[in-house]
Amino acid sequence: MVTYDGSNLDAAGLPDSVQHRLLELWQEPHRDYHGVTHLESGLAALDTLGGTQLEKIAFWCHDAVHTNTSPDDEHASVDIAEQLLWGNLTDSELDEVTRLILITINHRPDAQDAAGARVSDADLVGLALDWDAYEENIEGIRVELPELSGRAWRARRRKQVEGLVARPQIFFTDYGREHWEDRARVNLLRELDDLR
C-alpha cells in the first residue's frame, strides 16, 4: 500500500503525530470511498463554507473508524478523537469536536447549528459531483461492502438513496442549498432509477 503523506491536506493545526495517526486510519486497506480522497473533498468543502479549525479537526476525525456500521463507527471515532486530541484542545473544544463528529450519523443539524450544518454538508458534498464522479463514489462504497451479494447491496443502497431523496433538504448551509442541493437530487434520482 502506498502511504499518503498528507501534503495536500489542511492539517487544521493538528500536531504531526495526530495527523500521522489519523492518516494511517484513513488509509486502511478495506477503505475505498471512505479514504483520503473523501477527507480531502470534505476539507475543501469546509474551506468553501468558511469552516473553522474545530470543524476541520472534527472532519479529520469523523471517519477515524469506518466499518460500515453506523452509529457504532461514529461513536468509536469519537473515542479515537478523545484519545488523540486530549491535551491538545481545551475540554470545551474537544466537546465541540466530538459533537460535530456525531452530527455525521444522521446529517440533520439543528436549524441554528451553523457549525453542524457545515460539517454535515461537507460530508455529503460528494452527492453533488458530476455524474461520472458520483458513480465512481458509489462504486467505492460498493467495494467497501464485499460481503453483500449484488441483490443485498442494491436493497441496502436503495433504502439509503430513498431516505435521502425523501428529505425536505439534504444540505443545511445557504451555500449548500444554492450550489449542491439540485445536483445531488438529480444524481440520487438517477441512481434510484438505475437501482429499480
Q: How many CB atoms lie within 10 A of CB 127?
A: 22
Tens-of-pLDDT digits for all 196 residues of the chain?
A: 334 455 556 677 888 999 999 999 999 999 999 999 999 999 999 999 999 999 999 999 999 999 999 999 999 999 999 999 999 999 999 999 999 999 999 999 999 999 999 999 999 999 999 999 999 999 999 999 999 999 999 999 999 999 999 999 999 999 999 999 999 999 999 999 999 8
The pLDDT of residue 1: 35
Query: Which domains does the chain carry?
Result: 16-195 (1.10.3210)
Place of cell 452527492: 127
The pLDDT of residue 14: 87
The pLDDT of residue 196: 83
Q: Half-sphere exposure of residue 110, counting CA atoms within 13 Å on the CB side?
A: 4
The pLDDT of residue 50: 97
The pLDDT of residue 13: 81
